[in-house]
């Protein structure tokens, strides 16, 4: 396990070393070490703090969104997938105390373990340093996701996403123009996306389908990147999946 000081620096907050050590203790490690305390109680607390902070932030920030839309938006910020994404940016995995079995199965890179540990860390900060410090940590970690197209639309099909985005703006017909290149025994494909007769982006891949997906991804990033957060939120609300939490 890496030094806790390194993780504290990444988090940008001081946490009592003992509280942090407990937050990083997965049950698999505890069971193999004479029944040490696990991070599960802190995870329970951290989940509640996370939900409250994010809910309050969305309520205050997006005053024009109805309750139903706020409920759709929240899972994109507090889901297992979102928390695991944050954990990876912090390089959290090597810090987690895992048992031998979880280490063998690469538990330090499992979404569920990363997300649970993030919640435990939030719980530890709240317990040791107070709510305001925990709130500041949550907002610092979570709010950047609102401007990250890839994070907010994670798991979505890019071709469907571009169809909905283009339809909402009445931009015209989407076409994929396919070209192949490379030797016959190892062909690659290039897809060019045109919308309403205007060329937008290209993508490549080992098959026509993969090239089209790549081109659609680049196009979505082009369309949302230059027009701000509102379009990304539209994608989330339109593509809401109730089981995303």
Catalytic residue ranges? 47, 119
Give the residue numbers of the binding site for Mg(2+).
Answer: 43, 116, 119
Please give the domain boundaries of the chain with CATH numbers for all domains. Answer: 4-147 (1.10.1520.10), 158-238 (3.30.160.20)
Tell me what pLDDT residue 176 has: 96
Q: What is the mean pLDDT of the chain?
A: 84
Determine the pLDDT at residue 151: 53
Q: Please report the pLDDT score of residue 220 as a whole number.
A: 82
Tokens of 150: 């890839």
- pLDDT < 70 positions in the chain: 1-4, 147-157, 225-245
Cα 184 from Cα 94, distance rounded (Å): 44
State how far Cα 100 lies from the chain centre: 27
Instruction: DSSP letter for 97, please.
Output: B
Alpha helices in the chain (DSSP H): 4-11, 17-23, 27-31, 40-61, 67-73, 75-78, 80-89, 100-104, 111-129, 131-142, 149-152, 158-169, 208-225, 229-238
Tell whether the torsion through CA atoms of 83, 85, 90 and 95 is positive or negative.
Answer: positive
Please, are residues 134 and 126 in contact by the beta-carbon 8 Å criterion? Answer: yes
Residue whose tokens read 């062909």: 187
pTM: 0.66
Q: What is the pLDDT of residue 166?
A: 84
| Residue corresponding to tokens 């089209």 | 212
**Which two structure tokens, joined as six digits, stand for 189?**
């494909």
Residue 7: predicted pLDDT: 87
Q: 108, 198, 216: which is closest to 162 by C-alpha?
A: 216
Residues that constitute the known binding site: 43, 116, 119
pLDDT of residue 3: 65
Q: What is the pLDDT of residue 242?
A: 47
pLDDT number for residue 45: 98
| Main-chain phi, psi angles of 136, to 5 degrees | -60, -40
């Amino acid at each position: 396990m890496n030094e806790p000081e390194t993780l504290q620096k990444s988090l940008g907050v001081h946490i009592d070393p003992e509280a942090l050590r407990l937050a990083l203790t997965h049950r698999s490690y505890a069971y193999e070490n004479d029944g040490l305390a696990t991070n599960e109680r802190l995870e329970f607390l951290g989940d509640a703090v996370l939900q409250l902070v994010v809910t309050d932030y969305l309520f205050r920030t997006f005053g024009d969104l109805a309750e139903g839309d706020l409920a759709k938006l929240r899972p994109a910020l507090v889901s297992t997938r979102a928390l695991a994404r944050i954990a990876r940016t912090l390089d959290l995995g090597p810090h987690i105390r895992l048992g031998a079995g979880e280490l063998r199965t690469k538990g330090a890179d499992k979404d569920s373990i990363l997300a649970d540990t993030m919640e435990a860390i939030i719980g530890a900060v709240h317990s040791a340093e107070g709510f305001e410090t925990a709130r500041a940590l949550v907002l610092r970690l979570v709010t950047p996701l609102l401007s990250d197209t890839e994070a907010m639309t994670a798991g979505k099909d890019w071709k469907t996403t571009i169809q909905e985005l283009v339809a909402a703006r009445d931009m015209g017909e989407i076409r994929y123009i396919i070209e192949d290149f490379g030797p016959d025994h190892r062909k690659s494909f290039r897809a060019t996306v045109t919308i309403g007769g205007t060329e937008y982006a290209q993508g490549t891949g080992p098959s026509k389908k993969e090239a089209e997906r790549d081109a659609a991804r680049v196009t979505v990033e082009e369309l949302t990147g230059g027009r701000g957060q509102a379009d990304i939120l539209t994608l989330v609300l339109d593509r809401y999946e109730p089981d995303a939490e």
